[in-house]
Amino acid sequence: MLREGENTNMRRSLRNLVILTAAAVSAVVSLAAPASANEPMSSYVQVGATTLLPGQTFTITETIYNMESFVVTSGRAALYAKEQPLSGLLDLVSCTGTFVPCYQYFSSFRGPVGDMAADQTSTVTFLFRVKDTVPAGTTFTLQNQLVGDNYAFDTYDGPIISIWQG
């Protein structure tokens, strides 16, 4: 049986533990959901496969969105690799959803969609082939961006892609 003083101390300890636990859970939830989670993104990607073999073809579909109140001139879907040049890993086979053919631009790839009015969305689907020379175990973070002649939006990290041997 607990004495009255011990019972009060036990209740205080339990209350403090509940408060600390609630604070810890709140902190973890804050880290998991960025403050801008409700804001639209200017670009995002969907990848047909994230584990690939040298010589394998796969698709990357990039949706771009002009969230600004002005026209983005010569809008282009842009793809990069964070760790190394994407053009050293992949060959562009074809693309759809553009008004002129997609192309390599230095170490990245671009899909031109033309001028984009405010709130306009466009989608470009790239077909790539993994170069035969990519070593097994290579991984890279796919990045995507909407770029125009008069404005460039944030670059976003997409999925991590891994290259393995068959």
- The tens digit of pLDDT for each residue in 106-138 reads 999 999 999 999 999 999 999 999 999 999 999
Residues near 39 by beta carbon (within 8 Å), at least 6 away in sequence: none
| Distance from C-alpha of 96 to C-alpha of 18, rounded to nearest angstrom | 55
| Distance from C-alpha of 118 to C-alpha of 145, rounded to nearest angstrom | 16
Q: Tell me the pLDDT tens digit for each residue of 86-97.
A: 999 999 999 999
Q: Taking the alpha carbons of 56, 139, 124, 149 in that order, is the dihedral positive or negative?
A: negative
Q: Tell me the pLDDT tens digit for each residue of 49-95.
A: 999 999 999 999 999 999 999 999 999 999 999 999 999 999 999 99
Token pair listed for 142: 């796919």
Q: Tell me the pLDDT tens digit for each residue of 29-40.
A: 322 333 355 678
CA 90 to chain centre: 18
Model pTM above 0.85: no
| Distance from C-alpha of 41 to C-alpha of 3, rounded to nearest angstrom | 60
